[in-house]
Amino acid sequence: MSRYLKAIILFAVIGIGFWIIQQIFVTERPFSVQDITIEKQIEQRTLDHLLAEDLSLSTSIFINQLSEQLHRWSEQDFSDQTLFQKFKDELSEHPHYQSFAIIEDGKPTITSGSLKNIDVDKLTHKHQKNLYSDPYKVNDNYYMLIGERLSDDRIVIGEANLSFIKEYMQDLASVADTNGSFFVSGNNPDVKWETTEDLPEDLRSETIPELGWQIYVHSDRNENEMEREYIEHQAVIKFRDNETASIWFSDNPDINIIENKNPLFLIESKQEETIELINRLRDDRQLAIVEPNYTLSKQVSMPVASVKPLESVKPNDEFFQPYQWNLNQIEVEQGWNIANGEQVTIAIIDTGVDPKHADLEGKLVHGYNALDDSDNFADTHGHGTHVAGIAAALTNNVTGIAGVSWESFIIPIKVLNDKGEGSSYEVAKGIYWAVDHGADVINMSLGDYHSSDLLYDAVRYAYEQDVVLIAASGNDNVQDPMYPARYPEVLTVAAVNEERNRAFFSNFGDHIDVAAPGEHIPSTFPNNHYVVMSGTSMASPHVAGLAALIRSNNPSLKNDDIYRIITSTATDLGIDGFDPYYGFGEIDVLSALRAAHEQ
């Protein structure tokens, strides 16, 4: 698999070519995989440009974080030795800043950190109140200076390590400074450019406004590449009677048990390929389900007695006002007067969640790793952390972003690995675990184009336990339904942009229920970072957050009631009434909460 596809975190389920559409086990014909080509609907250049925009916004957030931190330090009273020592300790623990200085009359009066010689002449670029240098290299690491001229004409300077930018982008894009020199470049030798003069013709770039840097996305994905649709030599079986399992395995000694969740088993045959194994077992009357282990991939109060206008709630999170257009668009600021999501738990079934992120820590309850049956749900990919932040990040805590559902708890469930890949068996296990451990809402920003009896069994179990199920529609600009989004018990979410137009990548069809913002969405990322991503993966947790707000406002409502409220109060987009691109329209938090209160 290409390195670009590994980093699918920025826009989830990108179009991948060949997929299984449906497997039917009730006929007499042998099992066979029907490889149906999904017509490629999106030019790679268009996807690359979307990714470049996301990377540019992510870099802007990173630089603004550093600039604001520098400004806060500049306001401290360094004459107080206790405060100065506290500042030095904070600087030494900062993940990006290496050193700090205040320059007066061309000379440093206060210095701290590893670098003693900070050159003011390097601050050659200005954006608003901030000054920036070009990136420079020291011992194989890139750094830059960030400065600010204070009101008394002193200059405060910090030296920042750019390792996060390099690590985050190097397999996705190359970044050139204002001189046209590349200081971030991927590992692919075909795209390891030295300067912008080495670029192929017509390659589009995106500019980072604060710095003037140019980002060039270099997708190296093989357009004819075919994804595995199931894990070879494996199958998933479910017994009609769990007491028959031990005898059955004794009668089938050639089959190995990979995992025992009686009556559900993940099995393996070293001698038979998956199709042969399925054909042999599908007529066994002791088995209720026999199917391949399909692969899936990822796709971030106060009651109101009348409908009088409400004050907007403006949280103080640093990125809310400048970057989170998405929350204003769905009327969440007024809705927060009615509900904040307390006493409701959202399960994020994904790549896990970073348990130490400052904007999520304290929101996470017990979690589960379906990959190894442990409680280690740490996110080594980033997708799940981003999704969790959209749904329910800590809000009004000064730091970072605001989440849709302020007070909701998060159950982190890891079903996808560090490549963002998993299987139908693991996702089903995650759903069962979430339901059995108190999930009120389940978000699934993942999926694939084949139906699975096993996965549907888990979805039905959750639905029958009154859990609200939300899923992303997919990002291939096709009408082919993804699963689990296609199942009728699941609310399916398409994506719109800031103009309330359908996002160009968003899948469509009669199974779409509602739409939500899905382009250029800022949210949490591992190691206390914040990045911008696009995809229906980002649209889905907006709706999961809304479902949690509704449930906290009126706990008596059943899942079907919540589905009805969300769809009936959505803002109609496109043609009048329901349509395959927006479903019933874009979610409206305020209208939905008013309707919930009146039930």
Q: Of the residues 174, 423, 506, 537, which is catalytic?
A: 537
Calpha distance 73→111 (Å, rounded): 12
User: Which three-class secondary structure string do you get for 385-437?
Assistant: HHHHHHHHCCCCCCCCCCCCCCCCEEEEEECCCCCCEEEHHHHHHHHHHHHHC
Q: Which residues contact 385 (CB under 8 A, 6 or more apart)?
A: 300, 351, 352, 353, 354, 357, 360, 379, 523, 524, 525, 526
Q: Which two tokens stand for residue 575?
A: 């043609």
Name residue 230's beta-bridge partners: 294
Q: Is 437 a catalytic residue?
A: no
Known catalytic residue at 383: yes
Token pair 């911008």 is at which residue? 532
Q: Is the dihedral of CA 433, 437, 438, 439 positive or negative?
A: negative
Contacts of 252 (CB under 8 A, 6+ apart): none
- Map tokens 């009327």 to a residue: 331
60 Cβ contact list (under 8 Å, min separation 6): 208, 209, 210
Are 269 and 281 in contact, with CB atoms under 8 Å apart?
Answer: no
Q: ∠ CA(562), CA(563), CA(564), 5° rounding?
A: 90
Closest by alpha carbon to 337, among 353, 371, 313, 306? 313
Query: Which residue(s) pair with 517 in the sheet?
Result: 496
| Cα dihedral value 586, 432, 388, 467, nearest 10 | 40
Relative to beta strand 529-533, strand 368-369 is unpaired
Catalytic residue list contains 350: yes
For 124, what's the count of Cα atoms within 13 Å in the CB-facing half-sphere?
11
Tell me how far apart the alpha carbons of residues 450 and 229 are, in angstroms, rounded to a whole number.
8
Q: Looking at 38-94, which runs of residues are DSSP E strands?
A: none
What is the distance in angstroms between the CA of the first residue and the CA of the last residue of the chain? 50
**H-only helix segments in 170-286:** 245-251, 274-281
Which is the catalytic residue, given 317, 350, 448, 588? 350
Which of the following is catalytic: 96, 233, 383, 386? 383
- Length of the chain, in residues: 599
Please give the positions annotated as active site.
350, 383, 537
